[in-house]
Amino acid sequence: MLLAYTGVHWFLVLLAYVWIAHAFSGEPALAAMTLSGALVVLAFTLIGSAAQLPGVGGGAQLATFLVLTLIFGVEKEPAATASIILWLVTFASCCVAGLPLLFSEGWSMGELRRMASAEEQAAEAVESEEWSKRVKSSEERPR
């Protein structure tokens, strides 16, 4: 049953990609987007979401922009706009539902910041310990 729900979910995401592309009726390449074309865009978007740009994110938008301009021949301005709209609808919209659920569970943004800070400090401690071990082992090696 889980596999069926997953398939339905991704098909709905694919339909969202097609419908958003069709909303750009002034751009022929977007207005003529098919399910298979949207699947290509979705695949590149997912790859881009895994390869975030350091410090700013934006990997999904960049990947979507590149596939629209380089593969589908969409002009830069509509491709940039479509990339941002696709990201807002498919990725960022989860926050609209997620924040109220977060608060209903009794969590706060301050608590999340404290948790993130604690995780960051723990990671720094582990990294510092590993660095100390490397330095110590390099000092112990005969030259």
pLDDT by residue for the chain (143 residues), tens only, comes to 899 999 999 999 999 999 999 999 889 999 999 999 999 999 999 998 888 777 667 888 999 999 999 999 999 999 999 999 998 998 888 888 888 888 888 887 788 888 889 988 998 888 888 888 887 777 766 65
Contact 20, 68 (CB under 8 A): no
Closest CA to 89 of 8, 23, 26, 35: 23
- Would you state the structure tokens that stand for residue 142, as one six-digit string? 């005969």
For 55, the 3-state DSSP assignment is coil
Contact 52, 23 (CB under 8 A): no
